[in-house]
Structure 1
Amino acid sequence: MVTDPKPVFALIDCNSFYASCERVFRPDLAKVPIVVLSNNDGCVIARSYDAKPFIKMGAPYFQIKQCLQQHGIRAFSSNYALYGDMSERVMSLIEAQVPAVEVYSIDEAFADMTGITDVTEVSRQLRARILQCTGIPVGVGIAATKTLAKLANHTAKRLQEQTGGVVNLCPDISRDWALRNTPVSDVWGIGRRMSAHLEGMGITKAMHLAKADPWMLRKKFSVVIEKTARELAGTPCLELDQPDPPKQEICCSRMFGKRLSDIAPIKEAVATYMMRASQKLREQKSYCRKVRVSIRTGMFNPDEAKYAKGVVVTLPYPTDDVRLLTKTAVEAVEHVFQPGFKYSKAEVMLLDLRQPGEFSDDLFALNQPAEASKVMAVLDQINNRWGRGTLRAASVPSHPDWGMRRDLMSQSYTTRLDQLWKVSCH
């Protein structure tokens, strides 16, 4: 009788992804510690490995400038266009090499390695190919369950020099070693509060959790902790997730680079956010029937008057046409704007999203003209080829003075022709 092969999972995780993206096109930063900042250069959201001992995650930038200078740490504004494009390149390489993939986040993916003969060698080849084609270093953790694959990946990064960035925990001896040498707080899904509860019960290592009574864990905590324990013991409880269904709502929201008191720049911001939201709408091939627009002031400054308001507008017909969506959103600003306030943020949200043909209107209801769909297809083709914002609505400025502060942003080396990587020979 032929039995099905035991499942084998691999977690491919990019090392310090944001910092690695910055280093790809800046070889001079190979050994320089790096931190990446949030919107408006607010606080630290990513750190290279060599910056972690000196800078805490979430530290406000204005408070750590001297510390950065003292330790020779470079700070960068978030370059989401670059990070997103580099992520797509990495994920495409993974998808081309393995039978099935679950993209878990912008910098990590689970892969189904079941049935592959020499899974360690294949993982080393995949790691080398990603590094060669993108310049992004990755760690690969291999195991019989997703939770153990996470643990294997953690071990691969922690002991990169000894492991070469690839750890296989399928052999029992390797799995047991990793479980004995991993604090329970480092196990995937065990947060700070849960680890404190477990440590109070004497469960301080991953091995202790793997050997704990799963039914007791379920009764005392939850089915999630029970599954975690079973997975650590080698029993698969989590499968690769299927691709996400189309989103039921799409939101685009940004803080302004400065407080706005006039309605004109707020309308520009709403038009800009709608440009991005409508692009996401068309990417998932959906139509929108309702739009919500809201604006608000800062909520934490006691010296500033506070105000927030939003309005929902029903469109004349389901659409993905950025021209109609922008016109509707900009007009909605008139209904929520009140003079005398200093606004800090605007938000557009696309609601009542469905696939074409799913709206059950009456026989005489309006529908999006075929010409509009053709125009949107051309718009997306141009922007996909020449870079986001190459073709845009006239109400969307190219360099708004209200835009997010990104004083330390690197170039968009892979998504803008005018910022391509330049190599000079001397």
Structure 2
Amino acid sequence: MLGQFRYNDGCVVARSQEAKAIGIKMGTPLFQIQDLVRRHNIEVFSSNYALYADISGRVMSILEELAPRVEVYSIDESFMDLTGVANAIELEAFGLQVRETVQQWTGITVCVGIAPTKTLAKLANHAAKKYRATGGIVDLTSQVRQRKLMSLLPIDEVWGIGRRLTQRLQADGIKTVLDLANTHPKQIRRHYSVVVERTVRELNGESCLSLEEVTPTKQQIICSRSFGKRITMYSEMREAICQYTSRAAEKLRGENRSAKMITLFMRTNGFNPAELQYKPSLSAELPFPTDDTRDLVEAAMRLLKAAWRDGYRYMKAGVMLSDLYEPGVYQPSLFNEAKHRPNAKALMSVIDQINNSGKGKIFLASQGTQKAWTMKRERLSPAYTTRWAEIPAVR
């Protein structure tokens, strides 16, 4: 086997280093690389979101035990505050301790980048992954090492420097990370933005981005999936949208927020120009912010009725909840006659408790029971950490 990657039974969503090396790109439809898969005997896995979330939680909890303060940046990345750690242990030795502890307790291999700022720490982590001689740990507390690494890396490796900004910087002769670090911050601010100025300062060891121990409040909640088969029937799309809206409502309540805006979107297969293309996106404002699944599904059904067109083969759909409010913050209009459903909070709370207990599921009948449209996951790896029946046996 040479390499592996994960996909949502549609497109590639994660790749091993070996898969990257032979040219498999992120987001590539699986059908376009079947020859590569067969030729190199590549292992393919379907996305297993429950497993990833559980493993991520375990890794983050270990990091929180090892460092005084931790910011969980994403499902597979975090920042650790190492203030005072160097008084007890060398930082590179501490990085090794982190790597070995996570490996021993979860089986997950992590790379550790150590530096005085977040931007430099991201570069150090990149180097720890890219250069095997580092052993997965790079300490960039030394300015000499910082500048040596920056001279080797292209500008697009800097955290927050996207494709368009890279093109602008390269046109101005800034091609390496070191080129950017050597520019004057005020000049960068004048020609680009204050955000890029902060990046320059961070590259020079001046911390401009503080650690965020509390996860920032989400501005929107999206739930969408590709279908296991093309949807051509309104009844099946209705089930899917109801399911996605119900899941989005669960996430909304988990954030202790209510939404006043809902958006529905659908699309056909853009990779097949032979098919008729249709990509509707409609939004509706609710009378008042709500986290009640019934209110949100009712609004989503109205949008679906307006957006649906017969004769198309729909590949993907989803809903987005936005304009989010904390409980008790929204001030309704004096003339707003809309009323909340009685006991809605208590009902939603009971439903969530049952659904999270592992003892059963309560759902709206409109979500359907057969769900032939659900996302295919024919190469799903076992849920090693969340299902008793799939725990690996050691003999």
**Match for residue 186 of structure 2?**
215
Q: How far 1:341 moved relative to its partner?
A: 3.6
| Counterpart check, 1:36 vs 2:9 | no
Residue from 232, 236, 245 that aligns with 1:274: 245
Q: How far 1:355 moved relative to its partner?
A: 1.9
> What SS does structure 1 have at the residue aligned with 2:319?
strand
Q: How far 1:366 moved relative to its partner?
A: 2.8
| Counterpart check, 1:47 vs 2:19 | no
Q: How far 1:76 moved relative to its partner?
A: 1.5
Residue from 335, 338, 342 that aligns with 1:369: 342
Residue from 3, 11, 29 that aligns with 1:60: 29
Quick one: structure 1 residues 396 and 171, their matched pair in 2 at CA, closer, same or farther if it must change by over 3 Å? same
Matched residues in 2 for 1:295 and 1:172: separation? 50
Residue from 31, 42, 66 that aligns with 1:73: 42
Quick one: structure 1 residues 61 and 332, their matched pair in 2 at CA, closer, same or farther if it must change by over 3 Å? closer
Matched residues in 1 for 2:193 and 2:278: separation? 41
Quick one: structure 1 residues 318 and 183, their matched pair in 2 at CA, closer, same or farther if it must change by over 3 Å? closer
Note the alpha carbon deviations across 1:159-206, whole angstroms, 9 max, x for none: 33x333222111334334333443444333344555555556665543
Quick one: structure 1 residues 379 and 126, their matched pair in 2 at CA, closer, same or farther if it must change by over 3 Å? farther
Residue from 89, 97, 109 that aligns with 2:66: 97
**Match for residue 82 of structure 2?**
113
Matched residues in 2 for 1:307 and 1:61: separation? 22
Matched residues in 2 for 1:69 and 1:121: separation? 42
The answer on whether the counterparts of 1:141 and 1:152 sit within 8 Å (CA) in structure 2 is: yes
The answer on whether the counterparts of 1:317 and 1:368 sit within 8 Å (CA) in structure 2 is: no
Quick one: structure 1 residues 135 and 392, their matched pair in 2 at CA, closer, same or farther if it must change by over 3 Å? farther
Quick one: structure 1 residues 233 and 308, their matched pair in 2 at CA, closer, same or farther if it must change by over 3 Å? closer
**Match for residue 16 of structure 1?**
none
Quick one: structure 1 residues 391 and 94, their matched pair in 2 at CA, closer, same or farther if it must change by over 3 Å? farther
Q: How does 1:9-408 map to 2 (within 5 A)?
A: 33-37=3-7, 39=8, 41-58=9-26, 59-116=28-85, 117=87, 118=89, 119-160=91-132, 162-192=133-163, 194-195=165-166, 198=169, 203-241=174-212, 243-298=214-269, 301-307=272-278, 309=280, 312=283, 318-330=289-301, 332-361=303-332, 366-370=339-343, 372-386=344-358, 390-397=361-368, 400-408=371-379
Q: Which moved more, 1:281-290 or 1:300-309?
A: 300-309
Q: Which moved more, 1:60-69 or 1:269-278?
A: 60-69
Quick one: structure 1 residues 207 and 331, their matched pair in 2 at CA, closer, same or farther if it must change by over 3 Å? closer
> What SS does structure 1 have at the residue aligned with 2:237?
helix
Matched residues in 2 for 1:310 and 1:223: separation? 33
Quick one: structure 1 residues 164 and 368, their matched pair in 2 at CA, closer, same or farther if it must change by over 3 Å? farther
The answer on whether the counterparts of 1:101 and 1:110 sit within 8 Å (CA) in structure 2 is: yes
- Name the amino acid aligned to 1:228: T
Sequence identity, in percent? 43
Matched residues in 2 for 1:172 and 1:317: separation? 54
The answer on whether the counterparts of 1:386 and 1:415 sit within 8 Å (CA) in structure 2 is: no
- Name the amino acid aligned to 2:119: T
> What SS does structure 1 have at the residue aligned with 2:224?
strand
Q: TM-score, normalised by structure 2?
A: 0.84
- Name the amino acid aligned to 1:366: K
Matched residues in 2 for 1:200 and 1:291: separation? 41
The answer on whether the counterparts of 1:46 and 1:57 sit within 8 Å (CA) in structure 2 is: no
Matched residues in 1 for 2:147 and 2:234: separation? 63
Q: TM-score, normalised by structure 1?
A: 0.79
Quick one: structure 1 residues 210 and 301, their matched pair in 2 at CA, closer, same or farther if it must change by over 3 Å? closer
Matched residues in 2 for 1:311 and 1:195: separation? 34
Q: How far 1:62 moved relative to its partner?
A: 1.4
